[in-house]
Each structure stands twice: as C-alpha cells, then as structure tokens.
C-alpha cells in the first residue's frame, strides 16, 4: 500500500510539473470571411391562381488585416405567379444594397 501512494504521489508531481509551464505565445488567428443571411419562401393560393414569394438576404463580412472589416448586404425578392392554363410568370426585385467599411482603432 505504501508503494501505491508513493507511485501515485510521483505521478501527480510529474503531471503537475508538466502543466505548470509558462504559457507559450500564440500568433492571433487571422480573420475569416463570413457569408450568412436569410432565405425564405412565402406562398399564396387562391382558386385558379398560385403565387410563390421567395426572399434572399445575403450578408458578406470580409476582414482586412486586424482593424478593417468590409460588410455587404443585399435583399432580393421574387414573385412567381401561375394561373390555370398559363405558364409561370416571374419577376425579381433588388430591394436594397449596402456596402460599408468599419475600422477599429486600438492603441498599443
């Protein structure tokens, strides 16, 4: 039993000595472009007429260096209409578009 406690104590010392090392410097990770947004589909049905209403709103974020971020947003709305005995009719509209640049200033 004495040997068990001695071996356990030695293993505990070795593990704690390995964990007690000074933290190493790691280079900060660089930014990654992000594409996100929203996609939706609405519908309306009436006798003899069907309508589909797709919507897409992509958002693109692109970091440049450590202090710059470019953001772009757009919104697209579509209308697909079908009447009995007629082909589908469609139309797309660009509701808004925005591009902006954001900078952060930090003193070092």
Q: Per the domain annotation, does 95 fall within a domain?
A: yes
What range does the domain containing 95 cover?
Answer: 31-108
Q: Per the domain annotation, does 81 fall within a domain?
A: yes
Residue 60 · residue 44 · CB < 8 Å? no
Q: Per the domain annotation, does 21 fall within a domain?
A: no
Query: Which residues lie across from 74 on neighbouring strands?
Result: 97
Q: Per the domain annotation, does 96 fall within a domain?
A: yes
Q: Among the residues of the chain, which ranges form H helices? A: 2-19
- Evaluate if pTM is beyond 0.95: no
Residue 16 · residue 9 · CB < 8 Å? no
| Element spanning 17, H or E | helix 2-19
Could you read off the pLDDT of 5-57 as tens digits, one per residue? 778 777 777 776 666 666 777 777 778 899 999 999 999 999 989 999 999 99
Could you read off the pLDDT of 72-83 as tens digits, one per residue? 888 999 999 999
Number of independent structural domains in the chain: 1
Q: Per the domain annotation, does 105 fall within a domain?
A: yes
Q: What is the pLDDT at residue 40?
A: 96
Tokens of 32: 């990654």
Give dist(CA 90, CA 72) in Å, integer: 26
């Amino acid at each position: 039993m004495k040997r068990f406690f001695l071996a356990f104590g030695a293993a505990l010392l070795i593990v704690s000595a390995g964990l007690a090392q000074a933290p190493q410097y790691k280079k900060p990770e660089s930014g990654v472009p992000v594409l996100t947004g929203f996609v939706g589909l609405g519908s309306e049905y009436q006798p003899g007429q069907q309508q589909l209403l797709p919507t897409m709103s992509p958002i693109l974020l692109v970091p440049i260096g450590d202090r710059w971020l470019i953001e772009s947003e757009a919104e697209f709305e579509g209308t697909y209409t079908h009447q009995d005995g007629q082909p589908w009719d469609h139309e797309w509209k660009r509701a808004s578009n925005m591009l902006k640049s954001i900078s952060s200033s930090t003193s070092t």
